Amino acid sequence: MTVAGASLLATPHPPAPARPRRPRTGYLLLLPGVLWLVLFFLVPTVALVASSLYDPTGSLFEGYQMTWHVQNYADAIAEYAPIFGRSLLYAAIATGACVLLGYPLAYAIAFKAGRWRNLMLIAVVAPFFTSFLVRTLSWKLLLGDNGFVADTLRTLHLLSPDGYLLATPLAVITGLTYNFLPFMVLPLYASLSKVDPQLIEAGSDLYASPITTFRRVTFPLSLPGLVAGTLLTFIPASGDFINSELLGNPRTRMIGNEIQDLFAAGALPVAASLSVTLMALIVLMVLVYVRRVGTEDLV
């Protein structure tokens, strides 16, 4: 039932205009960056896995034999299992502490800060501006035996008179928590700030107390940020060794310390197998975690 419009010349059906070939600019733009990552991320990963299978009797100077020496893994895991466990434990505790400390902070910035919001965000990020190592070193001062914190705790009888804070697992975990806190706060804040305040008002309107509203409305909506935050905290923390080295003692060594030292000593296959095992453990835990929490908002 169409009614053609006004004048049309009785020309024969005109040919379709030639469509220009769409240039593959997308691929071109992507190419240099992807190439770099393939060369210096993907290939090294392969090299790492390969190195982990070398015959351990080689050396950096003499070269290595590729013998598919899977035994390296068995040896490494047997010897370093407790340290793996310790690393993952410390990382988990630090992540938990980051959630406990970071969630209220993110929540406050998102909902309670008003015009101080930007200032608070800067305050969260500002410690980043000093060097990672320098910051960690100042914890050495803060937690020192004659320092303010130790003194206060002794006065409060939370610490025995000859107790100390430095060179303990507590110090290491404190350092880890401190250094990765912004990684927890920022994604959480990003998620929380997207929550429409009217949703919270709707919760109140529908007879929910503030705590219930939080539990059933706000918290579930902040999950993507929480997942991102925990991943961005746990993963680097489990591989860290700086905090352990500066703030801990030989009994608090983490897997990062071991890998670092093994590489420095030139024991390539062992160090590589430890690295790969760490990576595999992390991937496994992340998959389980993400599956359980049920969200796929990663990037």
Partner 1 sequence: MTSVRGVRRWVGNHLVLGAALLVLLYMITPVLVVILMSFNDPAGRLGYDFDGFTLDNWANPCGPYQLCSSLVTSVEIGVLATVLATALGTLMAFAMIRHRFTGRSAANVFVFLPMASPEIVLGSSLLALFVNAGFAGQLGFWTIFVAHVMFCLSFVVVTVKARLHGLDPALEQAAMDLYANPWQTFWRVSFPLVFPGILAAALLSFSLSFDDFIITNLNAGQTVTFPMFVWGAAQRGVPMQVNVVGTVMFLVALGLVLASGTFRRRQRG
Partner 2 sequence: MTDSRSSAGSQDLVLDRVTKRFGSFVAVSDLSLTVPQGSFFALLGPSGCGKTTTLRMVAGLEQPTDGSIRLGADEISRLKPYRRPVNTVFQSYALFPHLSTFENIAFGLRRRGAKDVRKAVGEMLELVELQSHETKRPTQLSGGQQQRVALARALINRPQVLLLDEPLGALDLKLRRSMQIELKRIQTEVGITFVHVTHDQEEAMTMADTIGVMHNGVIEQMGQPGSLYESPRTTFVSNFLGQSNLVAGHIVDAAGPDLVVEVQGTKVTGLRSRAAVTAGDVWVGVRPEKVTLTRSDASPGEGWNVFRAGVVSDVSFCGVSTQYLVRMPWGQELIAFKQNTGAEAGLRAGDVVDLRWQREHTFFLDASEDAEAGVEHEDGA
Question: 16 is in the binding site of which of partner 1, partner 2, none (Cβ under 5 to 8 A by kind)?
Answer: partner 2
Which one of residues 120, 165, 176, 186 is an interface residue with partner 1 (CB under 8 A)?
Answer: 120
> How far is 21 from 127, CA to CA, in rounded Å?
51
124 binds partner 1 (CB under 8 A): yes
102 binds partner 1 (CB under 8 A): yes
Which one of residues 5, 17, 18, 40 is an interface residue with partner 1 (CB under 8 A)?
Answer: 40
13 binds partner 2 (CB under 8 A): yes
Binding piece for partner 2, criterion CB under 8 A, among 7-15, 90-98, 158-166, 258-266:
7-15
Binding piece for partner 2, criterion CB under 8 A, among 17-25, 142-150, 201-209, 247-255:
17-25
Q: Which of 79, 135, 133, 90 is nearest to 258 (CA)?
A: 79
Which one of residues 4, 28, 46, 158 is an interface residue with partner 2 (CB under 8 A)?
Answer: 4
183 binds partner 1 (CB under 8 A): no
Binding piece for partner 1, criterion CB under 8 A, among 6-14, 194-202, 216-224, 229-237:
229-237
Which one of residues 146, 155, 160, 198 is an interface residue with partner 1 (CB under 8 A)?
Answer: 146
5 binds partner 2 (CB under 8 A): yes
Residues of span 18-57 touching partner 2 by CB under 8 A = 18-19
Binding-site residue total for partner 2 (CB under 8 A)? 15
DSSP the chain: -----S----PPPPPPPPPPPPP-HHHHHHHHHHHHHIIIIIHHHHHHHHHHTB-TT-BTTTB--B---THHHHHHHHHHHHHHHHHHHHHHHHHHHHHHHHHHHHHIIIII-GGGHHHHHHHHHGGGGS-HHHHHHHHHHHTSTTSHHHHHHHHTTSS-TT--STTSHHHHHHHHHHHHHHHHHHHHHHHHHTS-HHHHHHHHHTT--HHHHIIIIIHHHHHHHHHHHHHHHHHHHHH--HHHHHH--GGG--HHHHHHHHHHHT-HHHHHHHHHHHHHHHHHHHHHHHHHHT-----
117 binds partner 1 (CB under 8 A): no
289 binds partner 1 (CB under 8 A): no
Give the per-residue contact string, 238-277, with partner 1 (x = CB under 8 A; - = no): xxxxx---x--------xx--xx--x----x--xx--xx-
Positions in the binding site for partner 2 (CB under 8 A) = 1-8, 11, 13-14, 16-19
